[in-house]
Structure 1
Amino acid sequence: MSAAREVRADFDRASIVMYQAYPDAIADVAVKQQKFGPPFSLGRMTWIKPSFLWLMERSNWGRKSGQERTLAVRIRRTGWEEALASAVLTSHEPGVHPSPDAWRKAFDAAPVIVQWDPERTLRGAGLPHDSIQVGLSRAVIQRFVEEWTVSITDLTPLVQKLRKHLDEGRADQATRLLPKEAVYPVPAEVARRLGM
């Protein structure tokens, strides 16, 4: 268990922002309809991340194939908290699960999985605290799309602007444009479940 696990996010009283990277075909539909639709698949796991810089590291600032478009998906906090409350870690942790077998059983049946990875700096270096990634299985994707999603914003132009600042050595200007993220209050019981 790590004391350095925190959920940092852009959130208000009712909602929280998740970042995802997609190809044009999925992003165009999502932004136009303000909800995901074909070719987005309800049949495969989708990962949501509240850390903008973690997604930038993952998508190489929108340069990875199939991850050219960065979307800010604002979802209901009730949905987010429901997802976390039913989540199981992607690997066995002694402080969280009594045994590897107990973890495996829980993991195999989990509708939501959680993975912790080092948070990133603007330049992609690992930080001493971990950032959460949440995998939604087919069991909950429909609810993510139909019930939880409040709005979808295309942040691709912002990502391009940030990338240009970075490429030209203007990290200060890039930092000022980053989405604001603060520590999100995770209920104690859920925090234990997630090894926080």
Structure 2
Amino acid sequence: MTLITASYLEQIEKWPKKGHHIMAQYNEEKVVVYQSYRPSIGNFAIKNQYFGGDFSLTRMTWIKPNFLWMMYRNGWGTKEGQEIVLAIHLKRKAFERYLNLAVHSSYKQEIYGSRDNWTEAVKNSDIRLQWDPDHDPYGAKLERRAIQLGIRNDEIEKFAKDDIIEIEDITEFIQQQREYVVNKNLERLMVPIETPYVPNNIETSKRLNLD
């Protein structure tokens, strides 16, 4: 597994406790995001290292750079249709492009001015932005907010093939770590190393309402 992990209990001492943060594992070349799929889609992606087959290019797909938010969403890989968990190593320049294009999924007057402006921006954008409560390993809400990005139209075609460095199957790792959560043994829980991601464009950071 190329995903870099560390002790959950050690990491939470360093993570911000509240505010809007893009928590992610990244370096100069890439940013890791997570998705969960049914076997027909997930296994195709693992084998071919791109999204095809039963993967739909006509539906919006959501990516999550925050590991524990993904685990909350897919029930640690136990929800139907989300059994295969993928760590998608994206080109950093692609992730930056998504952030630069992103439009909030709900109206923000301080950013868009009028509701009509926001509606037009949503209609014309291929990237949707949503902030949700982050969660701990047991699924409890935190004060910190976690980001997810919805991708569609021209951008989903780029995401499916061109923007990907590696698609990594982390299903077995998730199954192992889930046992520690179920048994309330967080001392043994390992999660991907994550730190707050700051976009290159300061105007993008302001528009995303990052802390």
Q: TM (normalized to structure 1)?
A: 0.95
Q: 1:185 aligns with which of 198, 206, 210?
A: 198
Q: CA deviation at 1:188?
A: 1.4
Structure 2 residue aligned with 1:163: 178
Deviation string for 1:38-72 (max 9, x for gaps)? 11111111100001100110111111110011100
Structure 2 residue aligned with 1:113: 128
Structure 1 residue aligned with 2:6: none
Aligned partners of 1:95 and 1:195 also within 8 Å: no
Tell me how far apart the structure 1 counterparts of residues 145 and 27 of structure 2 sit (CA, whole Å).
Answer: 22
Aligned partners of 1:96 and 1:195 also within 8 Å: no
Aligned partners of 2:64 and 2:70 also within 8 Å: yes
Structure 1 residue aligned with 2:75: 60
Tell me how far apart the structure 2 counterparts of residues 138 and 107 of structure 1 sit (CA, whole Å).
Answer: 13
Tell me which amino acid in the other structure corresponds to 2:194: E
Q: What is the Cα-based RMSD across aligned positions, in Å?
A: 1.1
| Pair 1:99-2:99 in alignment | no
Tell me which amino acid in the other structure corresponds to 2:198: P
Structure 2 residue aligned with 1:14: 29
Percentage identity across paired residues of the two chains: 35
Structure 1: gaps (5+ residues): none
Q: CA deviation at 1:25?
A: 0.6
Q: CA deviation at 1:80?
A: 0.6
* Equivalent position SS for 1:70: strand
Aligned pairs, how many?
A: 192
Structure 2 residue aligned with 1:133: 148
Q: CA deviation at 1:130?
A: 0.7
Q: TM (normalized to structure 2)?
A: 0.88
Tell me which amino acid in the other structure corresponds to 2:196: V
| Pair 1:86-2:101 in alignment | yes
| Pair 1:37-2:52 in alignment | yes
* Equivalent position SS for 1:178: strand
Tell me how far apart the structure 2 counterparts of residues 126 and 182 of structure 1 sit (CA, whole Å).
Answer: 19
